[in-house]
Structure 1
Amino acid sequence: MPSPYSTQRSELCCHDSFRVGCFSCKQDDIGEACAELEIEIAMTNEYLCALPPSISQAPTEEERQKLEKEEGKVKARHDSLLDCLSSFRKMMDKVAGDVRDICAKTEPHMLAGAFEKDAAARELEMDDEFRKMFGRDPPKSIAADPELEREIESSASTFKGLDLTNIPATPDVLLGSPAGLELMLRAGKNPMLAMGPNPGPAVMSYGRALAMFGPPESHTESTPKTEREYRERDTLNPPTVAILSEEEQLALFTEDKCLNYTEMLVSEYSRRVKAKKNVIKAEITDSYDKEESSTGGWPDVEGHDWAGLTNWIHRCMERDDKFFEVTLPSWKKQREDQSATMIERLSKWNLSDAVAAGFDDGSSRYGNPRKYWPYSKSLGEMEAEKALKHE
């Protein structure tokens, strides 16, 4: 008695995962790919339908041309997806025919065994092809066969790897982690270079680059190609122009200069940059305090970037002859004393005494918790008792 045809793997081969050589698994895999393509085609088609009204209502000619260019790209993508779906459906028809052949000559209760037997025979054929090509038995995986891995690595390829030294990057992002920057410098790492084994500037992850800048477009003369160019395009405040060379910047963070005070200096610089931005915003509305806008004898700050930080430290040195010998050590001691005083006072603080003196942490607004949990035992004790009963 022949078995009915089905597209469900659970009704045919019953394999838990993809089985090499199994027509039922292959049919299921291709069907899943077709379903994903159909969803993407529907989304692309919906986007295409929404573009013409946007083009006709574009506020400027430049915006209209940009939308028309986008429409051309989406149409090309839509056509490509349709071609891909057509190819997958042809594959699906062929595999479905193979599945029907097995179903037509197999009893329903023997169907899983028939698909496994056919898959095993097909896998043996592939193993024989491997032996003819490489002269040895096939490995369970590429990782299990170092010889095959070496052959693949040594095979002719036009791609020889990236030259990381040609990828421009800046260490501006390091200002967001003062403690991490100090640890990095103490470990002898150059903030201008990548952290990996290959020398070269740091490389931004592809996913993060897409999230920040969108998909790649055709390159033109004006297309930003570096982090600095992107900053200049996307902000009203361009990056700071460095007054020191790269070697002079790194020379500031040696043991006898700023290395031991990196976290303190970066934190202070970041705080001053933020305060300056707030003052500029307040000036627009005439609501700023002139006393707050004062730099307090310190040099003025620039952008929140590496060049701005090193420029500021350099100006501090020019203004204060004993900046490294006296000012920084005394400033650090003052901060440590303040932290010690705060820790000492917090350690002496007692909740019961504070409550007796009128302190309220907000718990008085919630009432007695036993009103909602009317048990003498905690939840953990009750769970432990349940576990003992099941042992």
Structure 2
Amino acid sequence: MAQALRRHDHTAWVTHFVRNRLPEQDFPGEDEDEYGYFAGGELEADAGAFQVLTAIIRLGGLMPGYSFRKGRTTIYGGQPAVCATEMPLYAFATYARERAEAGNVSAYGISFLKSEFYAAGGRPAIYGLSTDNVKYSRNDPTCRIIDEAILPVREQFRFIAHNPGGATRPIDWSHEREWRWVACDDEVDNIWVQYYNGIYGPAPALPLFKGPKEGRPLSRVCIIVWTADEAKEINELLTGFHLAGSNNYGSPFDRQVIERSRIIVLEEVIKAVEKNHELNAQTIEGLEEAQLLRSITIARPPKNAAKIVADAFAAAKTAGEQAGAAFNAKHGNASASFGFAHAATTDVTSPIVQYLLASKQASGPFDGEVWLNYPGPHGSGNIDYVEVVCRAAAQVLAEKLGIEVYVSVALD
């Protein structure tokens, strides 16, 4: 039987792309001190696209927006929405590259299986209506609701203005092949965030990592970045959340969803298509076959891991005790501020660090930071004393374990 012809213009995935935040566009009519619609405590109002992407991953979900253009929302029906495109990956990459100067599109995004996005409530856009006489029941800059006799309110989030034959100003965004999603279930369609006023609480969002245990249909996602260095940073972020099983706010992350998720480097996609002429690499399906999708790093423990750690911890304890004795001899019992000091690392992809976490000889990761639980004087107390002790121990731990170790300090 002849093999079915692969289509390069069609894919089973949809992609939500992110861009640089533009305060004057994203927060029209607001004063600078009031910026902060998107989890304002998490991001600056003018954050770059990669910062936005990492914030989405840290929070574990996509918060819907109003997609303002010229001070008016382009989302109808009164609810904010998450927008996505079903353009194949290479088409998306070239589109982002062409429009990068305008600042409207970036090379960063998150892809979902179309079937799962649909199951979550996502729907393809409706381009234009059968009537040119569009009446509104409400038409404010932040809330535009079309008369329900023309289109039911529950479907208006899908509507996109469309007039390709307009004499004065043609309107045609159909090349984006857009899909949209609005929150459907208050119980599961949310994530915890810090708002711009410092208060924590739930916010409507499309959860990425809740998984079927929490009632969400997404079984995997693909994180899209531009460079290999950015992929490394995302890998460390996702690996840390996989090891912790939650984010820093305690929101549970389904480890299986993270394990099945992948990272895509657009530079590699463009090279595969334009230089190596691998036409199948135009879609995520083709990249999967070509083994150009990167997974998180879950490593087996090194040989003799128990002995390596035992020797390192014993040496760290001795170094810490010696540093503590020297400190006391010089400073006596002089009082100081109290606080915490920990020998810490962010090298969550290291086999020895993953072994330490699995064997409960390390704690975390706490937003990517792992505390090494070596024996001896450290932890809380006189901040100057515990910092000196930890610094001596950290130096030994770095040498013996072969990882970067630093001192994490916080006042009590």
The answer, yes or no, to whether TM exceeds 0.5 is no
Structure with bigger helix share is: 1
In our comparison, the structure showing a higher alpha carbon Rg is 1
Instruction: Give the TM-score, by structure 1 length.
Output: 0.21
Structure number with the bigger relative contact order (C-alpha 8 A, sep ≥ 6) is: 2
Instruction: Give the TM-score, by structure 2 length.
Output: 0.21
